[in-house]
Structure 1
């Protein structure tokens, strides 16, 4: 199978599954968000996963050809994500210490994981536009 056909097939799968997962998790989270409660762990993670899949649908044609451009996109985005991880951890430390938000450890880890699931493909999208 050629790389373009494989990229189109995976793009379609990412798009359909991303739309489905994002729609379902938005529907489930809607009541909690409207009432000011922290949503369930699984629904936050599924929302981040759905957005991740939508971003991967965009990135599929850029990453499937294993050329210098795709390697450069991956390398630069991973370098930036190293600093995003530490910035996010620092921000979560500050938020949990000095704000009125009372999160337990599980909620902080869910937010951190969801942010990481979103920043990795987001930086890849940014670098795919720049490079």
Structure 2
């Protein structure tokens, strides 16, 4: 790991610690974690993925372009699946969330899906 890769890794550790502390506080106060906490988890995952992918994306060659293309392509279907699941859960009144809560769940899911798909395809290609 070199340069920015180390910075991304340190950022991932910091975001993970922040998320862990917020979850700990939620547990200690006997309250459910706020939905906005999950964006911090998504930022931690993104930072760790960037620390792994930085050497490959730095050069911006054909391999990096293929990783991005394939990752975004498969992420589209996963994100579509998330939305389909949410629609079914809302239709049958299994979930009772407002718009902000729903977006606060979908955004981290999207971030995590995109970056993990990049890592998976970087290992496959």
TM-score w.r.t. length of structure 1: 0.84
Evaluate the alpha carbon distance shift between residue 85 and residue 10 of structure 1 in structure 2; reply closer, same or farther with a 3 A threshold: same
* TM-score normalised by structure 2 residue count: 0.88
Q: 1:119 aligns with which of 106, 113, 118?
A: 113
> How many pairs align?
124
Matched with 2:74 is 80
What SS does structure 2 have at the residue aligned with 1:8? coil
Q: Which runs of 5+ in 1 are unaligned?
A: 1-6
- Once the two structures are TM-superposed, the CA of residue 36 in structure 1 deviates from its matched residue by 6.3
Q: 1:97 to 1:30 in 2, by over 3 A?
A: farther
What is aligned with 2:43?
A: 49
Does residue 1 of structure 2 align to residue 28 of structure 1? Answer: no
Q: Who is 2:5 aligned against?
A: 11
Once the two structures are TM-superposed, the CA of residue 41 in structure 1 deviates from its matched residue by 3.7
Match of 1:92 in 2: 86
Given candidates 91, 100, 103, the residue that maps to 2:97 is: 103
Offset of residue 100 of structure 1: 3.6
The answer to whether the 8 Å contact 2:5/2:50 transfers is yes
Q: Distance in 2 between matches of 1:64 and 1:33?
A: 40
Indicate if the aligned counterparts of 2:35 and 2:105 stay in contact, CA closer than 8 A. no
From the superposition, tell whether residues 24 and 94 of structure 1 become closer, same or farther in structure 2 (CA, over 3 Å). Answer: same
Unaligned runs of 5+ in 2: none
Inter-partner Cα distance in structure 1 for 2:4 and 2:27: 32
* Pairing partner for 1:60 from 43, 54, 60: 54
